[in-house]
Chains A and B, each alone.
Chain A
């Protein structure tokens, strides 16, 4: 993963700061950096969002396609994740450099999001056993400045909120042949309920304490971090340890608790923001990529 090299003295400086709940950029240990969210940025997707967190920049596009449901769950749709590490983000990703990371990230995302607890997958079913919607979630990393998971999860949640799937009806004739009919009104579409979609909070163990939303420098001071996926109600859906170092059980417990607290606090303003944005309708000013 993208990393920076820092000197011993710098490390000490950062660790001492964290110990005193004062980070290099002036934040406290449980504070996020400034965040910018914009939805509906890619017009030919069914839903999209772009999130900027510090210098970390993530774009998520969601495409819905009609497919055959998985045989073990015939009445559910499913999600597919793909993370593209653009060489824009860091020169390391050039060529196939980002591939491994991309697979790792998408596997994690799959674990976090593709569960009927976070998203009502039944609502994606069109015709049991025959047709369901598959949501292809494509994540594009435009710039890496630490804390990719949190940024991605927020972007995915915003994009899912923004997703509009065209409504289809299944016509059945006398012989039982099924035909899919599209509504000819482009406004007639299916929205997803994002109430239970979790957000990821990554906690980075720095010295004896842990910080959220670590920058690359802070990350360099840490041997291990913990990923916690938290729903708006505070339920933890997934916990993962990242990094080479180890964590003792006490700090895992401690970090999970912090994660829950921070996560819950993150959801409320995010939803408020998304809803406000949506209510603007056509009057909403588009910023796009030129900001």
Chain B
């Protein structure tokens, strides 16, 4: 039967369009129940004995939730207890329209077999389709559609011969809807009512999201925040320029401050500063908000203070805040556009990991939850199992933030495990950084080659056979995913032939299949301390693609002919078969080169490579490539407990840079080739030059030591960094380089058709891409595919040539890379904490890296560890501080002035007083300032810990 759906909509140009869609109704849509004999469903989803023990419904029943129940109580529905639920199409469509994440979650639940969730396409069923009536709102129609479907189920199941007492129960939180349903003779309950009636699952009650009617009961009538404007007002405001739209970014060091990054047209994105809770107006990190700018007189400068929201569980914080916000003495140049949030355009709430701060009142059910991410405010949740959750890492979702509440309201979702547990903490940091880390699905694994795998005749026919070459790989110790190998040999004409051989991952991962999609989504392999989250399944990463020694492997080779001056005479790309003769570590390779007695092929090949690499590096530096530094550390792990037992900064050998140099060369060669071939859709990598203002801190810092840093070009910067050496302070140069690194922009992937600036600033190369690590980076796989098409070694496919699709892919890759980096850092930080936990109290020397208004940030070079020494402690009157932002320097009690790079002595301890955020505490030991520095801790406290 044909019906038509008609609706009018406004077009972007302001016109009004009437749209008519055909809508077909059928009578062969099955109810999906096992008891039903009428429907000819082959594999019914809903069980015969649908039994959830409930005080309200003592008979078997199917649940039908309405849209709002699905939207708000998805955490409940996801619980394994909830089974035999009918999700109506009306509900599903509305959910999809209103919240994409919830839609995905409910879809996942439907696909899970054990949950017995059934989608009933009531909108296309002849007996349950309803048309909107005159004077009925869209929501009312949907509610009616839900009731009609529920009623149909009731009548339909009654007809089944052995249905027994089977009923359907409608879950709705809408009072009017519930009343109408009861009038129609339906069983309808409020979600809370039903969940509370469940016998044997009291923990579910905690996961109930607080709904709006309950919010009013929680706090008194005091209104703390101004109202958000309705969306229509915001939109008109944005259109005529009174409001600005942007992404809200909370300041992680100061909870009273945030910036809104306004997406301007083209490049002119601006930042708006927000100060004070009222002006932040309940926006949460990453929300899309509308802000109103203050007049110029009210603009403020970002405060350099570090403020933590450490209040106890109270609501009376504003008085203190007002005082904290006292405006600092201002220079007009420091003023930034300042404004306030007038409305939220889109919330970007996700479930947050963190820990519970138990309420001081015993038996209280309301507690504050402190998220691990310091951008996120604390969240109030209601739970009766608080005592069981204390000390555990839990996940909490935000439900809403009413105007009269200091904190947003949320509900408990999941318990991850004890805090400080290595497993739990790793899980937390993976979740917090959105790293996909589930095991690979069956669908993905099905695309792996069948074992035993061997190179076939066909493979050999289309590939260059390079097995006779003396290829070897050089990697860090313990590396199992070897994606590059090298060779070098002398040609008859006296020139050298150098080959870089990269694992041919694109041979195994064909475009578009599940394996490819999964890899594209993961984007990169994530290396944590003692754990690796692979981008491709292990069979590929550690076996078939890994260029291990003495096995035949497929490779993508880039072979150059060079003269002794490392000038490229000819470049040649080919798919190949290689057989690596040795897998060396950097140290082993270095030893071979240095050992004059060794004279075998491999060693000679290495020496040739090393000599060329030095020339290449020299030339690169000549062109202005930067050598930057970051304090990287490596943990020595206990082989059994996997606890870190020692840590050392990473050491660089000649061979490191030898491999690096040839990888850079290969990447540049490939970038040129694919750009030449596909000027519109080559995937490249660029590193934009940072705006000069980024260097301010670096220049100021150098000036404080009477040195000058030139920042007008990469070359000038590199040269002035090289020249910036202080006698008697060998680490000074490294410190400067660490600072310079912090001034840099992120390198990003992009599609050549979407951008015009290709330069890689750090490498001083006009064009660059990633080609050499396809096992651990998806970008390289795409580059491999492009190159394969360019040399006619493989076919193309539409998505590869679509610059918009490429561009979306690049965005994902950039995001995943950034997140992987953060996760890596977080993992290092966590292991550093573990290390210090075992060490007890340590006294170390460090350097001041930054000077802030009320604190100094100290780097301990030995551990690559950064920490903050606060001069103001909560509750105690702080010492007298005077801050000079020009220096920058900080004078404490008129006794001592701290400058950047000053050497200080600190004690390092693990502050476990707040298990929620375990942190490394540093306290000043030297210079001694009365009332500020701490005494040298007596060794007695240290001894027993060492004995253990």
Contacts and interface: CB of A to CB of B under 8 A. Distances in A.
Interface stretch (B9-17, B80-88, B607-615): B9-17
A134 to B, nearest CB: 11
A186 B8 contact: yes
B342 to A, nearest CB: 14
Contact of A180 (B14, B132, B138): B14
B225 to A, nearest CB: 23
Contacts of A64: 16
B20 interface: yes
B10 A177 contact: no
Chain A interface size, as a band, is 20 to 34
Nearest to A282: B131
B610 to A, nearest CB: 69
A65 B135 contact: no
B232 A166 contact: no
A251 B136 CA distance: 58
A43 interface: yes
B14 A66 contact: yes
A179 B20 contact: no
A168 B7 CA distance: 14
Contacts of A46: 18
A182 B135 contact: no
B4 A184 contact: no
Nearest to A167: B8
B845 to A, nearest CB: 62
B292 to A, nearest CB: 13
A44 B10 contact: no
B16 A65 contact: yes
Interface stretch (B236-244, B421-429, B546-554, B570-578): B236-244
Interface string A166-186: 101001010101011110111
B9 A175 contact: no
Contact of B7 (A66, A179, A186): A186
Interface string B629-669: 00000000000000000000000000000000000000000
B6 interface: yes
Contacts, number: 54
Nearest to A183: B8
A180 B10 contact: yes
A185 B134 CA distance: 8
Contacts of B232: 171, 179, 181
Nearest to A67: B15
Most buried by B among A63, A66, A168: A66
B4 A43 contact: yes
A182 B9 contact: yes
Contacts of A177: 236, 239-240
A187 interface: yes
B16 A66 contact: yes
Interface in B1-51: 4, 6-10, 14-16, 18-20
A65 to B, nearest CB: 6
B137 interface: yes
A279 to B, nearest CB: 14
The 9 residue pairs across chains A and B that have the minimum distance between CB atoms? A187-B134, A44-B20, A166-B8, A43-B20, A177-B240, A173-B236, A182-B10, A43-B4, A175-B240
Interface of B: 4, 6-10, 14-16, 18-20, 132-138, 232-233, 236-237, 239-240, 242
Given A63-B18, A166-B16, A187-B135, 14 more contacts: A43-B4, A64-B16, A65-B15, A66-B14, A166-B18, A171-B236, A173-B233, A173-B240, A177-B239, A177-B240, A180-B10, A180-B16, A185-B136, A186-B132
23 contacts: A44-B18, A44-B20, A46-B18, A65-B16, A166-B16, A168-B16, A171-B232, A171-B236, A173-B240, A175-B240, A177-B236, A177-B240, A179-B236, A179-B239, A180-B10, A180-B16, A184-B137, A185-B137, A186-B8, A186-B132, A187-B132, A187-B134, A187-B135
